[in-house]
Structure 1
Amino acid sequence: MERFDTVILGAGAAGMMCAIHAASRGGRVLVVDHARAPGEKIRISGGGRCNFTNIGTSARNFLSGNPHFAKSALGRYTQHDFIGLVEKHGIAYHEKTLGQLFCDDSAKQIIAMLLDEMAQAACELRLGTTLEALERSDDGFAVRLGGDGAADIRCRHFVVACGGKSIPKMGASSLGYQIADQFGLAVTETRPALVPLTFGDEVLAGFREIAGVAADARVSCGKTSFEEALLFTHRGLSGPAILQISSYWREKQPIRIALLPRLDFFAALRASRQENGRRSISNTLAEILPKRLAAHLADANGWAGPIGDASDKKLAAIAAILHGWEVLPIGSEGYRTAEVTLGGVDTSGLSSRTMEARAVDGLYFIGEVVDVTGWLGGYNFQWAWSSGWAAGTAIAERSSPRN
């Protein structure tokens, strides 16, 4: 029988961060993961360069049944704290749009940084290891592990950091939610988030003609809007603006697209009419929008003939459609391509300060498994760092050093 102060299920961003801090006062910490390598979602993120945080992070960038829950962890371990850790390890980084920070070189540098910090804290890592059983014991938890790290273990603290359902080909599952249910914690509805949207055959037939075309847009659903790029695909719509709005979209809700939202289309079309009235409406639009997209919109809406023949009323109608194009998605690409899982362990059952289950002493839930879901742009990684830090520091305060 092996004994640890803390066992952490999941060697991802939240789990490794938690381990570093849980072991900071000498507590014996074990991290287990079914995968053959740690930090797999870190490795593939940001096109292999890891969008590791966002300089504008605040609680308003997250969806949750309790919009205030994330404030404590995010406020006590901020994006600036994590940037300091990155700089301490000499990792070069750069800012892209909207405050997103990426490694100059490789996401593997972030994984190496976390592993180095874990090694310095004397954390133990067992990969290719599965959780076979978890039960309460007199002094904490009885854990049975299978696979390469098979063992029977006793621990005082057990941390669930195994993520959500997104990207099942990487081993994602509902295990974290099952553990919550086992110990009587509620789980909110879960669904794919930050995911491309799909459309019915009638709409999709037109989209296939313009697959690969991207354009700046403001995409809205209800009262929520995001202004970034969208991308037409063979399956429907993708791109940052679509991924963002997918977290707010629900079945049978239309989305509204304003192409080039900062452009006054009516004024631009009137100027083009005056400059060259013989030019077709399609060709006029092609001076403003990507050529294939302009042709598609002109054909789909019957915008034929020279622009010189178009009245102000017609130009205003064209501008209204370009700034208010409404389409009805029929679904999303699902967990297969979703970057995160929306929903999760209900925050009403957790301490916002420590991430510990209120009714189960020593049981913690951190990262994606919790009902806290960030926008696209580094926010979900910051939640992983912050929630992992919150649980890890709370555990360290309770753990006694072992010789």
Structure 2
Amino acid sequence: MSDSFDAIILGAGAAGLMCAARAGQLGKRVLVLEKAEKPGKKILISGGGRCNFTNIGAGPANYLSGNPHFAKSALARYTPRDFLALIESYDIAWHEKTLGQLFCDGSSKQIVEMLLEECAQSRKVGGDVEVRCNAEVTAVEHEDGRFAVMANGQIVTAPALVIATGGPSIPKMGATGFAYDLARQFGLKVVEPRPALVPLTLGGEELLFREISGVSAPVVASAGKASFPEAALFTHRGLSGPSILQISSYWKPGEEVGIDFLPQSSGDWLLDRKRETPRATLRSVLREALPDRLADILAEKLGIDTELGNASDKALRAAQERLKRWTFRPSGTEGFAKAEVTVGGISTAELSSKTMEAKKVPGLFAIGEAVDVTGWLGGYNFQWAWASGVAAGEAL
């Protein structure tokens, strides 16, 4: 038994469903194959169940890629405002959190239901989108300008095939490196994938910080040239929290991570305090700005246990400098199991930035997280999914 379609999309996640809806509404007959038991599983768990569906400020500068210009075209043609207009056309209530992050007031289910309804709308214009779940793809072949996909023992064919199966982050959700295997099968280069937006682990002397597991504080975390001012969280394994997840995408094994524990302080603030309140201790001063347990452990590590008036200016200056850039050398990350997304993927050099089509294999497309384009934490990866999905959907 063989079915013929205009396009076959592998993966019913954010990018795959967006691509299917756009192609269907342009009159295409589309089949979406999803190996999970239901579509949009990652959407459903995102944002604590409320889906951080975009970031109002999303632009090319918020993405990591081997080619920093690649994402410009798709992001410019389908913007956060475009997705917001779609949300509002379905009367989905939303709110903005910090740093431009947009969430549903209700549930992530509303986003999945909206995307499925967008797919269903294609029938009004002569298109059709069929979503088949529990579809295990076992073989993909390409011959005479058509792709043949074997799924659950049945062969389906189409002149266009879209890889939208994401990366290997969150394997408990069924994520795998299938997209990369398929890309390599067709001769496309893959940028070595690694976990991103992931907690960092600490070892050695830094294990002392495990004693304050659960404590968080607003900091500026940095790795290489990247820095992010948000909260850091100490865990029983190392470091997490928004600022750490952000810089994890930039951090490379062996490198240091810098933490500014007092981003609001400047100049010789500690010497000023010495003159103002000479009987104060470093511990008590730090407790004014930081959680008590964190203040205590930092004061202990700095080794200043006398009153400020009895501490030398040199020692206080050294403490100031260290608190502005306290360095950790992570032993690693918590891996793909805890990573929200993947850095790396199908090389952008292989794809058209306008259509997401493979340059060497006409009819083959790659979108979303499968591609070497990775957004910051805060709705950016969803915006890339929508934008790249629309770009491919319009080109099918």
TM range (shorter): over 0.9
Rounded Cα–Cα distance in structure 2 between residues aligned with 1:261 and 1:287:
14
- Cα shift at 1:186: 0.6
Matched, 1:290 2:291: yes
Match of 2:217 among 211, 215, 218: 215
Using the size of structure 2 for normalisation, the TM-score is: 0.96
> Which residue of the partner structure matches residue 174 of structure 2?
171
The one-letter amino acid paired with 1:277 is P
Residues 276-355 of structure 1 mapped to structure 2, 5 A cutoff: 276-355=277-356
Q: Is the 8 A contact 2:15 2:389 kept in 1?
A: yes
> Which residue of the partner structure matches residue 142 of structure 2?
136
**Residue aligned with 2:27, SS:** coil
Rounded Cα–Cα distance in structure 2 between residues aligned with 1:263 and 1:250:
29
- Cα shift at 1:260: 2.6
**Residue aligned with 1:41, SS:** helix
- Point out where structure 1 has 5 or more consecutive residues left out of the alignment: 396-403
Q: Is the 8 A contact 1:143 1:154 kept in 2?
A: yes
Q: Deviations over 1:221-261 (max 9, x none)?
A: 22221111111111000011111111111111111111131
The one-letter amino acid paired with 1:372 is V
The one-letter amino acid paired with 2:390 is W
Rounded Cα–Cα distance in structure 2 between residues aligned with 1:265 and 1:296:
23
Rounded Cα–Cα distance in structure 1 between residues aligned with 2:206 and 2:119:
50
Q: Is the 8 A contact 1:217 1:258 kept in 2?
A: yes
Match of 2:257 among 239, 255, 258: 255
Rounded Cα–Cα distance in structure 2 between residues aligned with 1:34 and 1:67:
32
Rounded Cα–Cα distance in structure 2 between residues aligned with 1:302 and 1:216:
23
- Cα shift at 1:139: 4.2
Q: Is the 8 A contact 1:7 1:31 kept in 2?
A: yes
The one-letter amino acid paired with 1:117 is E
Rounded Cα–Cα distance in structure 1 between residues aligned with 2:278 and 2:165:
61
- Cα shift at 1:271: 5.0
Rounded Cα–Cα distance in structure 1 between residues aligned with 2:205 and 2:70:
42
Q: Deviations over 1:378-397 (max 9, x none)?
A: 111000000000000111xx
Rounded Cα–Cα distance in structure 1 between residues aligned with 2:378 and 2:26:
33
**Residue aligned with 1:23, SS:** helix
- Cα shift at 1:108: 1.2
> Which residue of the partner structure matches residue 198 of structure 1?
201
Matched, 1:373 2:379: no
Match of 2:191 among 177, 188, 192: 188
- Cα shift at 1:123: 1.0
> Which residue of the partner structure matches residue 123 of structure 1?
129
Q: Identity, % of aligned pairs? A: 57
**Residue aligned with 2:25, SS:** coil
The one-letter amino acid paired with 1:345 is I
RMSD after superposition: 1.3
Using the size of structure 1 for normalisation, the TM-score is: 0.94
Q: Is the 8 A contact 2:15 2:164 kept in 1?
A: yes
- Cα shift at 1:262: 2.3
The one-letter amino acid paired with 1:165 is P
Q: Deviations over 1:104-142 (max 9, x none)?
A: 111111111111111122311111111111111324111
The one-letter amino acid paired with 2:168 is K
Q: Is the 8 A contact 2:26 2:394 kept in 1?
A: no
- Cα shift at 1:270: 4.2
Q: Is the 8 A contact 1:284 1:307 kept in 2?
A: no
Rounded Cα–Cα distance in structure 1 between residues aligned with 2:240 and 2:60:
25
Matched, 1:238 2:244: no
Rounded Cα–Cα distance in structure 2 between residues aligned with 1:31 and 1:78:
24
Rounded Cα–Cα distance in structure 2 between residues aligned with 1:152 and 1:275:
79
Rounded Cα–Cα distance in structure 1 between residues aligned with 2:171 and 2:14:
17
Tell me the matched-pair count: 390
Matched, 1:78 2:79: yes
Q: Is the 8 A contact 2:199 2:241 kept in 1?
A: yes
> Which residue of the partner structure matches residue 225 of structure 1?
227
**Residue aligned with 1:188, SS:** strand
**Residue aligned with 2:159, SS:** strand
**Residue aligned with 2:167, SS:** coil
Matched, 1:57 2:63: no
Q: Is the 8 A contact 1:215 1:260 kept in 2?
A: no
Rounded Cα–Cα distance in structure 2 between residues aligned with 1:176 and 1:342:
14
**Residue aligned with 1:164, SS:** coil
Q: Deviations over 1:318-349 (max 9, x none)?
A: 21111011110110000001010100101111
**Residue aligned with 1:67, SS:** coil
**Residue aligned with 2:54, SS:** strand
